[in-house]
Amino acid sequence: MDNKVTSVQIEESWKIALKEEFAKPYFGQIKQFLVEQKKLNKTIYPPGPLIFNAFNTTPFNEVKIVILGQDPYHGPGQAHGLSFSVPMGVRVPASLRNVYKELVDDIEGFEKPNHGHLVSWANQGVFLLNAMLTVEHKKAGSHKKIGWQHFTNAVIKKLSDEQEGIIFMLWGNFAKQKKELIDTDRHHVLEATHPSPLAGNAFLGNKHFSTANQLLKAQGKTPIDWKL
C-alpha cells in the first residue's frame, strides 16, 4: 500500500458518481487503516495504484455487465484489482479454470487460454468488482470489516439507480446477497453457484455468458467478445 490511496486515483466518471461516498467518514477510516498497515510493514494486495483498477478500466457509463467477487487474491503477484483475474504469467486460479470450462461449453469457438488476465473483458464493459478492494498477505477476508462493503454496496446501488439494462452475474451465496441492492425491473440478474472447485461442478451449465450476450443484443448493445 502506498499513500496514493489517500488521494483516490480513480477514473473521472467514477470520481463524479461516487463523490459523496469519498466524503463519508467510513471512507476516511479505510484510508487511515491502510496507511497504518503500511507503517506496520504489512503486505497488502493489490498494490496501491491497482486498488481501483476495475474502476479505471471500466468507466461508470460503459458498464454493461458486473461480475462480483468477494476478496482479492491474497498470494504474491496475484491480485491486480479485477475480480477473478490475475496478471499475465501468474497461474490460473482454480475458480477461473471452472469459468473457462463453462465458456468452452457456452461460447462457440472459445478456447481455454493459458493465462488468467481478463482485462480485455473489462475494456469491453465487464466491470470486475470485488466486494473488498484490499486484503492482507495470506489472510483471506482480513479486510472484510474495514468498510469496503459500505463502499462497494454503494457502487452497486449507484449503477442500479443511474444506469439501465446492466447484467449482474452473482456467483455464490455471498454475491447473491447483493441482489437486494439491484432494481430488477431495470436490470438483469443471473445467479449461479460459485465457480470454486469446493462447489463441485455446480457452476457448470449456467450459460451466463451466452445469455448475457443475448440480453445485450436485445438492448442494441454490442455483445462481449469473451475470447481471450
The candidate with the shortest Cα–Cα distance to 122, out of 228, 12, 14, is: 228
Q: Are 123 and 32 in contact (CB under 8 A)?
A: no
SS3 45: strand
Looking at residue 73, its amino acid is Y
Catalytic residues: 71
Question: How far are the Cα atoms of 74, 172, 196 from residue 93, in angstroms, in the given order?
Answer: 12, 17, 9
CB atoms within 10 A of CB 141: 12
Residue that has been written with the C-alpha cell 462481449 in this structure: 224
